[in-house]
Structure 1
Amino acid sequence: MLDLGTSFLASVERDPDALAIVDGEMRLSYRQWYDKVSALAAALGETGLQRGDHVLTVMQNRWENASLHWACQFLGLVVTPLNWRAKADEIDFGIEDAGAKAVFYEASTEEAVRLSRLAQDLPQLSAEALADIMTGRAADAVPVADARDWSLMLYTSGTTSKPKGVPRRHHAERAGAVAHVAQNLYRHGERTLGVMPLYHTMGVRSLIASSLIGGTFVCLPRFDAAKALDLIEKEKITNLYLVPTLYHDLLYHEAFSAERVASVRKLGYAGASMTDGLLKRLEQIFRPELFVNHYGSSEIYTFTIEQTAAAKPGSAGRAGINQTIRVVKLGSRDPNERAAVGEEGEIIALMKSDEAFEGYWNRPDADAKALHGGWYFTGDTGFFDGDGDLFVTGRADDMIITGGENVSPVEVESCLSLHEGVAEVAVVGLPDERWGKIVVAFIKRRDEVSAEDLDRHCRESGLANFRRPRRIVFVEEIPKSPVGKLLRRLLVAGEYTEERIPANR
């Protein structure tokens, strides 16, 4: 397997004049980009950074950040990206946990870096400084890393505990990108909207996959539906790979029209389940050649792939080309104790995968919880149907046990999403003296709709009585993470704003 520096160099030699990256007025061919990456790699090499050192990045999706990623691959530096919204204490945690040797930031993150206690003892370079360096010239960069070196360390979201570092080697990163190209049927020269953040596995995969096919990575530093629509139309974007929330925001933006996104031929989503209602609407409007549900994680990029997502709503499909998947009985740690067809259990993935990590960074406690008998226990629940397709029902921690019955929030959300008056929905279990927990639906309305209307819709849809929400709350917004993941825990904690009813209602 090639290391990533050699992989990038192969792309330059294969397609030197192809458009590689776009960021505003900046437009670079592969040869031009290689010149700039070479200048940056030469400058970083003179700072004393050594092969294997971690460098912390706190930047949005700009060309300087993408260039830094590639320069680090040539030098064997381990890119350790944090959410650009990170606070000073989170930067301190990342520096200490990773043992970072330098920090890279931009204007939007400058204050957090300035307030970080540990960052003051390290070399710091801004995006503007990186851009200045890349105006210079240097000899063509030569890869010093090999495929077994660490390439990247992502951090899990850490919603209930400290974030966990997920170190990944060059060969695993490239294997994930090759699989991404194959499973999304990318053609030579695809144009990708580079908006999924480069601190997230989806963003990094888009960046690397784009290089493998002589494609164009069109930077959108942070998601804005209006700007995204402008770029899709102007740059003739051919594929989108987004979390469901971003599709929703695109689709329902006032400036959206099918004509503006006519260049898009392939849709892919990951990071969260997509409701049946959104699936249906995307299929109707885009009429894509391919509509892929990609189910995976930072730890092991691909679990399963469903290439006809709208044809079988809710299906996560079958194991990716580098993977084997099982569903084991809930609570079991034996990978051979498989759940029956149709029986809900925990989803596990084989650690032999070319795309897999090898364990968490300095977290033997997390390894002991997740790694058993050569398998990664995902913490996700799901089942195989009679066709052999996987259905993901949620996180084990999200399962609602009401009156002794198990209720998957995802199933209830998909049902409610099909009502045209529902813009967004999230379902959680809240404590109840009699039932233990009751099913509660939080709804962001699109049109006039009442709780009674939605209850009638659930009954007429055939949703089992014990799965019907016992309470419906209309809210201003559904809480989500920066990459669009639903944050059910905030709803459980009461951190939401009920809808303000206009006086004329």
Structure 2
Amino acid sequence: MQDLGRTFLQSVERSPNALAVVDGGQRLTYAEWYERIQRVAHGLSTLGLRRGDHLLVVLQNRIEMATLHWACQFLGVIVTPLNWRAKPDEVDYCAGDSAAKAVVCEPVSAAAVAESHVASRLTRIGVGGADGTVQYAQLLEQAPPQPILQADSEAVSLMLYTSGTTGKPKGVPRRHRAERAAALGHVAQNLYRRGERTLGVMPLYHTMGVRSLLAMVLVDGVFVCVPKFDCAAAFRLIEQERLTCLYLVPTLYHDMLTWRANNPLTRIASVTKLGFAGAPMQDGLLKRLQETFQPELFVNHYGSSEVFTFAYDQDATRKAGSAGRAGINTRIRVVGLEAGSPDQVVAAGEEGQIICELEGEEAFESYWNRPDANAKSIRAGWYFTGDTGYVDLEGDLFVTGRVDDMIISGGENISPVDIESVLSLHPLVDEVAVAGLKDERWGQKVVAFVKTRAEVTPDQLNEHIRQSGLLDFKRPREYVFVREIPKSPVGKILRRKLVAGEFEEAK
């Protein structure tokens, strides 16, 4: 299989004059972007970076971030992106764990890098006026004497760090061949055509952002950089750039619909394809998106940094809550919650842990410097995701949560997602999250944390639950009305914060 540098060259050769990337007033064709990428790759090489070295990048989704990502693919350097909101201790850990040779920062992340004992001693590349050993503009000063093309399909393309909700984050190294296969799968599963145009808002430290970046290049498409999400800017770019596809987490879709309710004249007709991942989408939001955008294609993706696509459904509203079936490069199973072997498959309809075979082209091989994590998650050639779910009688997968999120109340296993889906359909509920709180009688009691559109009472919500047909033992025993549902930067509900009382009640 080709490496990603050659993949980019294909688009340069096919469509040199086609628009490739946009960031504010900067608009580059594939030929122009390639020249800039080559200059940056040469600049990195003059700083001593070589194939297999890690470049730590702590940037927002700006054109420099996208350009550095591609420059590393040509040079054979492992791009290692971090959340631009990362704290000094997180930067310190990841810089040391990856043995990074250099770090890139901008004003919003410069303080965290400077306060990191490890990162502050590295060569620092400053972007947007941030202090550094060198400035990004200096990387552009010279073109290489010969085109740089130093990677192959077996080289490591990038290393993503998992969110680390428990313990230290885990490095997930991914080879060029796995990244290319995942991008090809993404194109196929989203039915992307040549020249698609997408909103580049999902962060490039997250697999969703990286997949959008690579997929657009595969189809000679346009990646419109959005450094920091803003609803007004997102709708303006949809109209100005005639964007054709959106690939976002449910939280951003929710915020966009809320904004558009007050700005109904914004033009969105160019958008014909919607995709989401990162977290389940509640039924109420699915319906509102379908009504608003009326897309030709509405795709639900379920995956991870380790194996991009576990499953997908090209008609997300067909069967609410379903993640569909295995991706085109993967095999999946559901095994018992306590299973130690991939052969302990459960019956249809029975809840268990979702696992994925690592022989698939999209899969990683092992974690970086984490034999403990490998021992926990990799068994007999299968990746144990830590997610719970079941396969229905028709063969569709339903993801019900995390093993750690499962509520055990009165001896019954209760999935928060089932309850959230039902409550989200109440017209006065804006967002909802369900968690298990300690209870002397039940062990854990089901508590629903609700953000409302207008005043609603627990009795009204209980009546809605009863009419839904949800089994009574799953009904919330308490409702807490909150100002916001705590979430990660990519929109995953942080139930641990709800359990710990880290939320603000609505007044």
Using the size of structure 1 for normalisation, the TM-score is: 0.97
Q: CA deviation at 1:260?
A: 2.0
Q: CA deviation at 1:137?
A: 4.0
The 5 A counterparts of 1:373-388 are 373-388=380-395
Q: Equivalent of 1:473, from 469, 477, 480? A: 480
Aligned residue number for residue 428 of structure 1: 435
Q: Equivalent of 1:326, from 311, 324, 333? A: 333
- 1:277–1:248: structure 2 CA closer, same or farther, 3 Å change rule? same
> For 1:435-485, what per-residue CA distance to the aligned partner results, in whole angstroms no more than 9, with x for missing partners?
111110000111221111111111111111011100000001100111111
Aligned residue number for residue 487 of structure 1: 494
Counterpart of 1:75, as a letter, is: L
Q: Equivalent of 1:174, from 169, 172, 180? A: 180
Find the aligned partners of 1:114 and 1:206 in 2 and give their Cα distance. 31
Find the aligned partners of 1:312 and 1:130 in 2 and give their Cα distance. 48
Q: CA deviation at 1:226?
A: 1.6
* C-alpha contact 1:65 1:127 (8 A) present in aligned 2: no
Aligned residue number for residue 42 of structure 2: 42
Aligned residue number for residue 425 of structure 2: 418
* C-alpha contact 1:445 1:474 (8 A) present in aligned 2: yes
Q: CA deviation at 1:259?
A: 4.7
The 5 A counterparts of 1:18-29 are 18-29=18-29
Counterpart of 1:287, as a letter, is: Q
Q: CA deviation at 1:131?
A: 3.9
Q: CA deviation at 1:43?
A: 1.1
Aligned residue number for residue 302 of structure 2: 295
* C-alpha contact 2:173 2:367 (8 A) present in aligned 1: yes
Is 1:219 aligned to 2:210, yes or no? no
Counterpart of 1:130, as a letter, is: Y
- 1:199–1:446: structure 2 CA closer, same or farther, 3 Å change rule? same
Q: Equivalent of 2:167, from 141, 147, 161? A: 161
The 5 A counterparts of 1:383-398 are 383-398=390-405
Counterpart of 1:493, as a letter, is: A
Find the aligned partners of 1:270 and 1:392 in 2 and give their Cα distance. 12
Aligned residue number for residue 341 of structure 1: 348
Counterpart of 2:4, as a letter, is: L
* C-alpha contact 1:147 1:169 (8 A) present in aligned 2: yes
Find the aligned partners of 2:187 and 2:137 in 1 and give their Cα distance. 30
Is 1:249 aligned to 2:267, yes or no? no
Aligned residue number for residue 92 of structure 1: 92
Find the aligned partners of 2:141 and 2:276 in 1 and give their Cα distance. 36
Aligned residue number for residue 505 of structure 2: 498
> For 1:207-237, what per-residue CA distance to the aligned partner results, in whole angstroms no more than 9, with x for missing partners?
0010000000000001111211111111111
* C-alpha contact 2:42 2:139 (8 A) present in aligned 1: no
Counterpart of 1:127, as a letter, is: V
Using the size of structure 2 for normalisation, the TM-score is: 0.97
Q: CA deviation at 1:256?
A: 4.2
* C-alpha contact 1:258 1:286 (8 A) present in aligned 2: no
> For 1:32-90, what per-residue CA distance to the aligned partner results, in whole angstroms no more than 9, with x for missing partners?
00011111111111111111000101000000010000001111000111100011111
> For 1:335-381, what per-residue CA distance to the aligned partner results, in whole angstroms no more than 9, with x for missing partners?
11110010001100000010000000010000000001110000001
Aligned residue number for residue 443 of structure 1: 450
Aligned residue number for residue 132 of structure 2: none
Q: CA deviation at 1:18?
A: 0.7
Total equivalences in the alignment? 500
* C-alpha contact 1:274 1:314 (8 A) present in aligned 2: yes
Counterpart of 1:97, as a letter, is: D
Aligned residue number for residue 455 of structure 1: 462
* C-alpha contact 1:420 1:447 (8 A) present in aligned 2: no
Aligned residue number for residue 279 of structure 2: 272
Find the aligned partners of 1:285 and 1:258 in 2 and give their Cα distance. 12
Find the aligned partners of 2:86 and 2:239 in 1 and give their Cα distance. 32
- Partner SS, residue 249 of structure 1: helix
Counterpart of 1:209, as a letter, is: A
Find the aligned partners of 1:60 and 1:381 in 2 and give their Cα distance. 32
Counterpart of 1:383, as a letter, is: Y
Q: CA deviation at 1:106?
A: 0.7
- 1:325–1:270: structure 2 CA closer, same or farther, 3 Å change rule? same
- Partner SS, residue 303 of structure 1: strand
Find the aligned partners of 1:86 and 1:12 in 2 and give their Cα distance. 35
Counterpart of 2:220, as a letter, is: G
- 1:64–1:219: structure 2 CA closer, same or farther, 3 Å change rule? same
Question: What fraction of aligned residue pairs are identical, expressed as a percent?
Answer: 62
Q: CA deviation at 1:258?
A: 6.9
- Partner SS, residue 261 of structure 1: coil
The 5 A counterparts of 1:71-110 are 71-110=71-110
Q: Which is worse superposed, 249-258 or 334-343?
A: 249-258
Counterpart of 1:159, as a letter, is: T
Counterpart of 1:319, as a letter, is: A
Q: CA deviation at 1:135?
A: 6.0
Q: Equivalent of 1:313, from 313, 320, 333? A: 320
- 1:118–1:237: structure 2 CA closer, same or farther, 3 Å change rule? same
Is 1:70 aligned to 2:76, yes or no? no
Aligned residue number for residue 206 of structure 2: 200
Find the aligned partners of 2:308 and 2:481 in 1 and give their Cα distance. 36
Q: CA deviation at 1:309?
A: 0.6
Q: CA deviation at 1:133?
A: 3.3
RMSD: 1.1
Find the aligned partners of 1:256 and 1:178 in 2 and give their Cα distance. 36
Aligned residue number for residue 503 of structure 1: none
- Partner SS, residue 116 of structure 1: coil
Q: CA deviation at 1:308?
A: 0.5
The 5 A counterparts of 1:106-121 are 106-121=106-121
* C-alpha contact 1:481 1:487 (8 A) present in aligned 2: yes
Aligned residue number for residue 16 of structure 1: 16
Q: Equivalent of 2:238, from 227, 232, 257? A: 232
Is 1:143 aligned to 2:177, yes or no? no
* C-alpha contact 2:42 2:143 (8 A) present in aligned 1: no
Q: CA deviation at 1:132?
A: 5.0
* C-alpha contact 1:250 1:256 (8 A) present in aligned 2: no
Counterpart of 2:335, as a letter, is: V
> For 1:186-207, what per-residue CA distance to the aligned partner results, in whole angstroms no more than 9, with x for missing partners?
0100001000000000000100
Is 1:152 aligned to 2:158, yes or no? yes
Counterpart of 1:108, as a letter, is: V
* C-alpha contact 1:176 1:205 (8 A) present in aligned 2: yes
Q: CA deviation at 1:184?
A: 0.3
Aligned residue number for residue 131 of structure 2: none
Find the aligned partners of 1:378 and 1:48 in 2 and give their Cα distance. 38
Find the aligned partners of 1:34 and 1:418 in 2 and give their Cα distance. 48
Aligned residue number for residue 190 of structure 1: 196
